[in-house]
Amino acid sequence: MALHVAVIGSGPAGIYTAEALVKQSAEPVLVDVLERLPTPYGLVRYGVAPDHTSIKSIANYLRRVLELPQVRFLGGVTLGGHVSVADLLRVYDAVVYCTGAMVDRRLGIPGEDLPGSVAATDFVNWYCGHPDVDPGRFTLDSSEVAVIGVGNVAVDVVRVLAKTAEELRHTDVPHDVLDRLSQSQVKAIHMVGRRGPEHAKFTLKELRELGELANADVCVRPDEAAVLGADFPRQVQGNIKVLQSWAGREPVGRPRRLDVRFWLRPVEILGADRVEGLRLERTRLSEEGRVVGTGEYETLPVGMVLRSVGYQSVPLPGVPFSERTMTVPNEAGRVRPREYVAGWLKRGPTGVIGTNKSDAAETVRTLLADLEGGAPVSRPTVESLLAERGVRPVTYDDWLAIERAEGELASSLGRGERVKLVGVDTMLRACAHLE
Ligand SMILES: Cc1cc2nc3c(=O)[nH]c(=O)nc-3n(C[C@H](O)[C@H](O)[C@H](O)COP(=O)(O)OP(=O)(O)OC[C@H]3O[C@@H](n4cnc5c(N)ncnc54)[C@H](O)[C@@H]3O)c2cc1C
Ligand SMILES: NC(=O)c1ccc[n+]([C@@H]2O[C@H](COP(=O)([O-])OP(=O)(O)OC[C@H]3O[C@@H](n4cnc5c(N)ncnc54)[C@H](OP(=O)(O)O)[C@@H]3O)[C@@H](O)[C@H]2O)c1
């Protein structure tokens, strides 16, 4: 009898886990990848920026895992909605939680909930066509926008704001979103870091791209680009060099302007009924290396604030969760007997797609060692469980039909390879699930 494992979540962590199970197991293994959306690939589909087409092509690798005979995609199935942990442990020998980190971290400052103050998670979901966010959600009607945070997500958000709609036309951005982007009133973007250039989290390649924007002048203040010391890792030295090279640049009159700012922390988002400004306090590092305010303030006259200060995981019903680390406590991936975790839910929302591969491999090593030599147990099937719950899962073939429909939509609109379908019902219609 084959070992039957459920992987929850079809992002990189989930799919690398499925692959590692097939590769590492000496015994026959069957893996079901359960996913709440009708579509696989997690943040590769709904996070990686639409203009980063070469990174998005990692989906072609992930697809090959879903096509392995031992692996099955079951979309439209939510843990904590359609099925519980107890259900899964009844029908599978082991369960691996790979549900990522879906929500934004909070700033905890006044005005954070004003209309116009937006979590990067929502904005990214919007331009990526995530079914949780309506394509009509954002109108870019402010001429000045602040992006808080200097990580790679902030850089993605800035690039999408700075580019013309025409530059994004060949991407898979939903057509209604492209339409909104074409009406954008944004003229000035302020990207704000609470520490210095030497502490910024963005990577060199991503930073350099900002300097190559055809539609925006990039400006850095010489005093804010200055750093003390020279003993930095190579990546950081690269960032500093690029930022300092921009510090001397004069704008050449491109339609948009990007100001990359440092040593400023947000203290209040201002406005009566909606965002009218962002109050910042100049910072420095204390002797202990903590960010402290200097009592010197400035206000940016922005109508929109995008908070890009990191993602965080949410607890899954019935699964242990640490409110301190915002992850599932584990030892090399083991949570409890027969329960495991991988990816951002295991180690927090950092690291690139590839990081999840070694992470998943570790979890699978733990799982297989734990289950080795166990007597086979006869269990009810997941099909009977889902039928009991009235759930007809979206199969891999259904997903291929959605993909085809996205290709046809792109052709009919004269756009690139594909244009995202938005909304679960639209996707289900494309694979005839609603007929
Ligand atoms: C905006 C953004 C852009 C990024 N761009 C890049 C990039 O260009 N290059 C790079 O290398 N890395 C990038 N990353 C990092 C990379 O995306 C992550 O390392 C990776 O996606 C984490 O994988 P994961 O499988 O843990 O989570 P996810 O990719 O988030 O996958 C989790 C999956 O679980 C599903 N799920 C959630 N809850 C449930 C539930 N209850 N039941 C069933 N399914 C559920 C979700 O729908 C999702 O499909 C980016 C991250 C973000 C946030
Ligand atoms: N192209 C790519 O490869 C790519 C693209 C997107 C994302 N990713 C990866 O995905 C992961 C998540 O990226 P991310 O950008 O969301 O997170 P991140 O790299 O952790 O960056 C978060 C940023 O928010 C700042 N921040 C946090 N709390 C703040 C506060 N209260 N006030 C002001 N600023 C605050 C951080 O500053 P401090 O440093 O001072 O805390 C940091 O600049 C990263 O590993 C990233 O590399 C990769």
**pLDDT tens profile 55-97:** 999 999 999 999 999 999 999 999 999 999 999 999 999 999 9
What average pLDDT does range 258-273 have in this prediction?
Answer: 98
What average pLDDT does range 146-166 have in this prediction?
Answer: 98
CA of 346 to the centre of ligand 1 (A): 12
pLDDT of 290 higher than 70: yes
What average pLDDT does range 89-110 have in this prediction?
Answer: 97
**pLDDT at residue 433, as a whole number:** 75
Nearest to 84 by CA among 322, 369, 388: 388
Task: Output the furthest CA–CA distance in the chain (Å, rounded).
Answer: 72
Q: pLDDT (tens digit, 9 = 90+) per residue, 1-49?
A: 899 999 999 999 999 999 999 999 999 999 999 999 999 999 999 999 9
**pLDDT at residue 435, as a whole number:** 61
Instruction: Name the pLDDT band for 248 (thresholds 50, 70, 90).
Output: confident
Neighbours of 378 (CB within 10 A): 5
pLDDT of 432 higher than 90: no
Min mean pLDDT across 12-21, 205-214, 225-234, 413-422 is at 225-234
Phi/psi of residue 160, each to 5°?
-65, -35
How does strand 71-75 pair with strand 264-270?
unpaired
Instruction: Name the pLDDT band for 264 (thresholds 50, 70, 90).
Output: very high
**pLDDT at residue 229, as a whole number:** 83
**pLDDT at residue 1, as a whole number:** 85
Task: Determine whether the shortest distance from the Cβ of 265 to ligand 2 is under 6 A.
Answer: yes
**pLDDT at residue 434, as a whole number:** 66
Paired tokens of 230: 């020279």
What single string gives the DSSP state of each residue in 163-179?
A: S-HHHHTTS---HHHHH
Task: Determine whether the shortest distance from the Cβ of 153 to ligand 2 is under 6 A.
Answer: yes
Question: Residue 299 is inside which H or E element, if any?
Answer: strand 291-300
CA of 350 to the centre of ligand 2 (A): 8
pLDDT of 421 higher than 80: yes
Q: Which atom of ligand 2 is nearest to the CA of 153?
A: 15
Mutate which of 43, 306, 399 for ligand 1? The one with the most ligand atoms within 8 Å of its CB, which is 43
CA of 42 to the centre of ligand 2 (A): 18
Average pLDDT, rounded, for the chain: 96
Task: Determine whether the shortest distance from the Cβ of 267 to ligand 2 is under 6 A.
Answer: no
CA of 155 to the centre of ligand 2 (A): 9
Paired tokens of 138: 């954002």
Give the separation between CA 366 and CA 348, rounded to whole angstroms: 19
Give the separation between CA 253 and CA 90, rounded to whole angstroms: 64
Burial 150-163 (b: 16+ CB within 10 A, else e): bbbbbbbbbbbbbb
Task: Determine whether the shortest distance from the Cβ of 25 to ligand 2 is under 6 A.
Answer: no
**Atom 12 of ligand 2 has which residue's CA nearest to it?**
350
Within a 13 Å sphere around the CA of 289, how many CA atoms are in the beta-carbon half? 1
Torsion of CA 51, 247, 309, 121, to 10 degrees: -20
pLDDT of 228 higher than 90: no
Give the separation between CA 226 and CA 184, rounded to whole angstroms: 33
CB–CB of 22/351 below 8 Å? no
**pLDDT at residue 277, as a whole number:** 98
What average pLDDT does range 194-201 have in this prediction?
Answer: 97
Burial group, residue 79, by CB count within 10 angstroms (0-12, 13-18, 19+): buried
pLDDT of 249 higher than 90: no
Q: Would you give the DSSP letter of residue 160?
A: H
Task: Determine whether the shortest distance from the Cβ of 202 to ligand 2 is under 6 A.
Answer: no
Min mean pLDDT across 69-83, 171-185, 375-389 is at 375-389
Instruction: Name the pLDDT band for 373 (thresholds 50, 70, 90).
Output: confident
Selected residue with higher pLDDT from 308 and 289: 308
Nearest to 243 by CA among 280, 216, 206: 206
Checking phi first, is residue 120 left (phi over 0); if not, alpha (psi -120 to 50) or beta?
A: alpha
Paired tokens of 168: 């994004």
